Structure 1
Amino acid sequence: MIKREQHVVIAKDTKTRCSSSRPAMALHRPDAEAPLLAAGSKRDGAAPPTERNNYPLFCTVLASMTSVLMGYNVGVMSGAQMFMVEDLGLSDRQIEVLSGVINVYSLVGALLAGWTSDRLGRRLTIVLSNVFFLIGALAMAVAGGYAVLMAGRFVAGIGAGYALVIAPVYVAEIAPASSRGFLMSIPEILINCGLMLSYVSNFAFSGLPVHLSWRVMFAAGAVPTVFLAAGVLTMPESPRWLAMKGRPGEAKAVLDKTSDTPAEAEQRLLEIEEVLKGGVTSGGGAWKEVATKASVRRVLAVVLTLQFLQQASGIYSVVQYGPRMLAKAGITSKSVLLGLNILFGVAKAGSILVAMALADRVGRRLLMLVSTAGMTASLLVLGSLFAAFAGAKDDVAVAAVSLAALLAFVVSFSVGYGPLSWVYSAEILPLRLRGQGAGLSTAMNRLMSGVVTMTFISLYQAITMAGAFYLYAAMAAAAFVFIYTCLPETRGRSLEDMEELFHTK
């Protein structure tokens, strides 16, 4: 269990009491000249500052660069696998395991990330994740067989688990309320940039001799780790961690740089100190609330269901096996398959920009509903195509429609459900359960992504490719129903309001 404390603090003067039946409101921020409001006071109609502070964006991008490495290490197997089979004679089952096991191994890093970050600090934990990526990439690049490849995936998986937890934690702790949704989407888009870069690497090195091509693909992931680790050390430490360590002066200096106004910085520091004065909520205390309060159990169930359905709808099957899917649709050229994989990466990363731009404007719920509806429709089209034209070769029309449907699925996922399930989960977890809940949320996501990728080949061999897509479509449809019936809108609400919205106070 990750035993880290709450990771997001919002100025109490942003607090606007909302009920679940009222429409979401725009966030209110103190004006530059506004007096500091007393804790717990309410203020409506405050004019937002004319300029947004961009320093948190700089820190967010630096902290989230480790997400690029996570995406690269996950995605590089997509194209490398066809060369590894030819060079090392790996079986379909071995490829299946190597593709998905990094997600399972990431649970180790995810479960250690909270403990490590509370002791070493957020910055050094990000540096540590880069070290794991460096060792894992080099181990896979020099591997002579399946056992060493598995060892390399294990080490890289630990780095992936650290990256999944620590980047969002750091971002949440420095982000002002006005741009929380936008900034918390950046780690997700950089994961997808890493995926896209891995596809570019697959294509760029595919012309090398077979015994070198896949090794260089893995080795390329080691190159940026040292530079990224050095860059992370130039950003400030988390103000929450500094205050935990008895360094309020340094925490205030960071808050001055990362808040929209001096008043907001002062209020954020007061709230941190108030929480620390009350003592750290232990893991046992948090889980006692889960055992005794139905409302807290309901929130935890919402978070876990969101993450379960996100991965059960099959997105990582496309990430890892896109070329194999297109090959089944009739495309046989390796270079064309790897080139189209880049298209998937561009579409996936680009679509998240839309989610980032709209998350704080139209709301999380609407975007996720549109997203899951599009996912369901595109998966049904794919299933129908493979059912009607199974075994078709050199049928340009079938291949073109299959490609379009796969792209539609990727875009639909990334424009809403992909990034916003993380944002929504982080927002609604109550303060005293946020650390442990985030750990469970990450664990559920990684476990399901591992299961999906480690069973895809066996699944379509057992129930056909059409059957696999129909199964994923059912999961996407279930996600739509769940979001529509169980998830209220959270846009414009402070983190304190979430506890009233879900009745967890």
Structure 2
Amino acid sequence: MDNEKNESSGFDSGADRTVKKPSLSDGKSEWEENPHREHAERGIFDFDEKQTISGKFENPLAGVSKAKLLHEVERFCRDYDLMGNLEIMKKGALVAQSPLHFHEIEELSNEDIAILEREKSHKWNQPWILYWLTVMCAMGAATQGMDESVNNGAVAFYPKQLGIDKLNNATWIEGLVVGAPYLACALIGCWLNEPLNYFLARRGTIFVSCFFAAWASIWEAFTYSWGQLFAARFVLGLGIGAKSSTIPVYSAECAPAPIRGALVMQWQVWTAFGIMLGNIMGVAFYSLGPDVGWRVMLGSSFVPPLFVMVQVFFCPESPRWLIQNHKVQKAYRSFRRIRNTELEASRDLFYTYVGVEIERKVNKGKNFFTKLWELFSVPRNRRATVATWMIMFGQQFCGVNVIAYYSTTIFVQSGYTHPQALLFSMGTGILNWVFALPAFFTIDTFGRRFLLLVTFPFLCITLLWTGMSFFLSLHSTKRTAMITTGMYLYEVFYSPGMGPVPFSYSAESFPIQVRDVGMASATAVLWAFNFILSFTWPALVEAFKPQGAFGWYAAWCAILWFLTLIIFPETKELTLEELDAVFSVPTRKQVARGLREPAYWVNKYVFRRDVRLPPLVDIQQLRGQRKEASQVGTV
């Protein structure tokens, strides 16, 4: 086993993808010899064809008899040359079937039970390589954030240095240059994610995307026209798009279940950290002068991706990706590196394998366009699509990247000098990161919908506060103080709400057969509106002044609050089947209930009346039914 754990770290290019996938029906079995018993029991890979389109997949091993389960484990080990691990694999499969009742599994020894108990009681006691992998993902997120925010300080200088301010339509050209990476993400980067992951695997995609990020950052520093800078930033977007789609997925596929949510949430936390770093670079390099300083600001973002490119060589490949490409032995070696024991690795290997095989069966005969059509043709999927697109759009049109990309310019317009503006811009980045730190506690404690309904009104108020402060006298300290306070308070309320919710919500809302296309489409929506915001802000300020520009995004925060109220179902701590039930509720019923909620809140929390508002879906009843169903046939 130690030799297996020291697996080579070279990228899986998919070159050996020609290996024939073993058939699940190879060889005779006791069920084939007794057809009546075969029809009486549900197999591991059997499912209701009518349910596949809506994604009703709970634990696929629930309801399978022990004899059939152990038979399939033996077949699995024989097909993939793992017979030396047969006994531990059987134990792992039994635990995967009953993860909450492992004490009742007679095949487990006292030592096995102690291992599983320790996994729950000491959930942060993980192999060092898992934490190395987590640090690598965090550095990738920081790269993302820094790529976005270093332009904040630089844009205060390069329009003049490159002669953009003397051109016709200068404000539109400035917006085009600032938004170039996000245009590339929306048009190309997000859609490159699937082919890059198919041919280069997760680690290879991360390496390539960071290579583009590092190369484009250096290119930005050595541009001498707005066209060159636009091209460099467009290439930067190719790396941003693939990286933003791959790293959260890679982290989720490698993390153990007890801490998966917390590790995946690190993407948002360390993206905020990268945004802070980008703002710090603006302060650090301002003294180099107007011609050199902005170049070093943009070029400084080449450092974090270099660390990621080195780190990724020492990380294991995603076991799920390896199983999807029929490299089961390599997947087992990967699991052994990121799990404490063989029992945990065997359990996760077999469970992942079954999930992948069911997903493969569900998606048989479907192509990209078929899945894209199912996002809209299936009512359950359509409601998930509307909700995720709305929240991805909302993360941009709540106005956050006005501050992330233009806060230095805004502070200069408010009356600060350039050095002061850079310093106060750094403050927005620090607040964004500090208040993102507790996000992985609040999002599962209070729920996605609750956080949005609470924070949107404050985002609206702080944007109006900031915009209306521009009516004060230009040379008044009250003006600068009011604008600074408004922008700082905005970051305080953004980070625990609209910061973590969109990516988490989008990743969990789609059923498995359309999840890849659904997530790609949601990410493309985010980057498309990111580009629109960054492209139009200079012209918006020129046409409507800062007061009207901030008022525009404040209005959108009010609209988004109302949309959240009526069409945004809660997904906190819901399983796949429960999500299916939630998104199967007709939209008219969601809207009707949402419209009744404000009156319910007033009666309950203001007038203290004993009122009830029945839920759209009785989750507790659904869980009780599922528990009964899971006990059928397990003996």
TM-score bin, normalised by smaller chain: 0.7 to 0.9
In structure 2, the CA distance between the partners of 1:292 and 1:97, relative to structure 1 (3 Å rule), is closer
Q: Which AA in structure 2 matches 1:337?
A: A
Paired residues of 1:182 and 1:360 also in contact (CA < 8 A): no
1:344 aligns with 2:428: yes
Checking the alignment, whether the CA contact within 8 Å between 2:93 and 2:350 is kept in structure 1 is no
Q: Map 1:168-207 onto structure 2 (within 5 A).
A: 168-207=248-287
The answer to whether the 8 A contact 1:374-1:409 is kept is yes
The letter of the residue matching 1:50 is S
Q: CA deviation at 1:142?
A: 1.0
Render the CA deviation track for 1:356-415: whole Å, top value 9, x for unaligned: 2222222222222222222112112223323x42xx223112211211110111221111
Does structure 2 retain, via aligned residues, the 8 Å contact 1:13–1:43?
Answer: no
Normalised to the residue count of structure 2, the TM-score between the two structures is 0.70
In the alignment, structure 1 residue 12 sits paired with structure 2 residue 62: no
The 1:13/1:244 distance shift into structure 2, 3 A limit, reads closer
Matched letter for residue 354 of structure 1 = P
Match 1:66 to one of 120, 140, 145:
140
SS of the residue 1:304 aligns to? helix
Map Cα deviations across residues 166-208 of structure 1 (whole Å, 9 max, x no partner): 1122122223333333222212222222221111111111101
Cα deviations across residues 79-133 of structure 1 (Å, max 9, x unaligned)? 1122213422222423222112211112211110111111110001000011111
How many Å apart are 1:290 and its aligned residue? 3.2
SS at structure 2 position matched to 1:352 = coil
CA–CA distance in structure 1, aligned partners of residues 162 and 498 of structure 2: 38
Which residue is equivalent to 2:228? 148
Aligned: 1:106 with 2:195: no
Rounded to whole Å, the distance in 2 between the matches of 1:279 and 1:162 is 23
Further displaced range: 481-490 or 442-451 = 481-490
Distance 1:139 1:68 in 2: 20
Partner in structure 2 of residue 396 of structure 1:
477
Give the Cα–Cα distance (whole angstroms) in 2 for the partners of residues 423 and 141 of structure 1.
34
Equivalent residue number for residue 317 of structure 1: 402
Aligned match of 1:36 in 94, 97, 101? 94
> Structure 2 stretches of 5 or more lacking a match?
1-54, 63-90, 104-116, 586-635
* Residue in structure 1 matching 2:161, options 87, 102, 105: 87
Q: How do 1:207-246 residues align onto structure 2 when only pairs under 5 Å count?
A: 207-246=287-326
Separation of aligned partners in 2, 1:287 and 1:211: 47
Instruction: Give the aligned partner of residue 13 of structure 2.
Output: none
Aligned to 1:425: 506
Matched, 1:117 2:197: yes
Q: 1:320 to 1:484 in 2, by over 3 A?
A: same
Change in Cα spacing, 1:45 to 1:359, as seen in structure 2 (3 Å) is farther
1:49 matched to 2:120: yes
Q: Is the 8 A contact 1:243 1:273 kept in 2?
A: no
CA shift, 1:502, in A, is 1.5
Q: Tell me if structure 2 keeps the 8 A contact 1:76–1:218.
A: yes
Question: Structure 2 CA distance, aligned partners of 1:458 and 1:432?
Answer: 42
Aligned residue among 363, 366, 369 for 2:447: 363
- Matched to 1:398, the amino acid is R
Q: Matches of 1:460 and 1:81 in 2, distance apart?
A: 15
Distance 1:428 1:278, change over 3 A: closer
Is 2:241 the counterpart of 1:161? yes
Q: CA deviation at 1:282?
A: 2.8
Aligned residue in 1 for 2:359: 275
Residue identity in the other structure for 1:395: S
Change (3 A) 1:501 1:42: farther
Q: Deviations over 1:243-288 (max 9, x none)?
A: 0111112223434555697245543343234333555553233234
Query: 1:227 Cα shift?
Result: 2.8
Q: How far is 1:74 from its partner?
A: 1.7
- Structure 2 residue corresponding to 1:374, chosen from 454, 458, 480: 458
- 2:147 maps to amino acid: N
Q: Aligned equivalents of 1:221 and 1:469: distance in 2?
A: 29
Give SS of 1:418's match. Answer: coil
User: Is the partner of 1:133 in helix, strand or coil?
Assistant: helix
Q: Give the number of the structure with larger relative contact order, counting CA–CA contacts within 8 Å between residues 6 or more apart.
A: 1
TM-score for both structures, normalised by structure 1: 0.87
1:128 to 201, 208, 212: 208
For residues 495 and 229 of structure 1, do their structure 2 counterparts lie closer, same or farther at Cα, with a shift above 3 Å needed? farther
Give a deviation string over 1:5-45, Cα, whole Å, max 9, x none: xxx9x982899xxxxxxxxxxxxxxxxx9982676x79699
- Using the alignment, how far apart are the partners of 2:338 and 2:457 within structure 1? 37
Q: Is contact 1:84-1:214 (8 Å) kept?
A: yes
SS in 2 for 1:369: helix
The answer on 1:480 being equivalent to 2:594 is no
Please tell me whether the aligned partners of residues 255 and 268 of structure 1 are also in contact (alpha carbons under 8 angstroms). Answer: no
- Give a deviation string over 1:316-357, Cα, whole Å, max 9, x none: 1111111222222222x1111101111111111111112122
Q: Is the 8 A contact 2:222 2:295 kept in 1?
A: yes
Tell me, yes or no, if the aligned pair for 1:64 and 1:187 is still in contact at 8 Å.
Answer: yes
Residue deviations 1:435-491 (CA, integer Å, cap 9, x gap) = 111111111101101111111111122122111111111111122222222223222
Distance 1:72 1:42 in 2: 41
Number of equivalent positions:
475
Q: Residue 470 in 1 paired to residue 539 in 2? A: no
Label 1:494 to 1:58 Cα distance change in 2 as closer, same or farther (>3 A). Answer: farther
Question: After alignment, is 424-433 or 359-368 more displaced?
Answer: 359-368
In structure 2, which of residues 389, 393, 403 is the aligned counterpart of residue 304 of structure 1? 389
CA distance, structure 2, for counterparts of residue 411 and residue 13 of structure 1: 42
Where does the alignment leave 5 or more consecutive residues of structure 1 unmatched? 1-7, 16-32
Larger Rg: 2
CA contact (8 A) 2:380 2:580 kept: no
Q: 1-side partners of 2:122 and 2:442: how far apart? A: 19
Distance 1:14 1:416, change over 3 A: farther
| Aligned-residue offset at 1:64 | 4.0
Cα pair distance change 1:311/1:241, threshold 3 Å: same
Let me know the Cα RMSD of the aligned residues.
2.8
Would you say the 8 A contact 1:126–1:163 is kept in 2? yes
Residue pair 1:96, 1:457 contacting (<8 A) in 2 also: yes
The AA in structure 2 aligned to 1:454 is: F
Aligned mates of 2:93, 2:193 — CA distance in 1: 38
Contact 1:104 1:446 in 2 (8 A): yes
Separation in 1, partners of 2:445, 2:337: 25
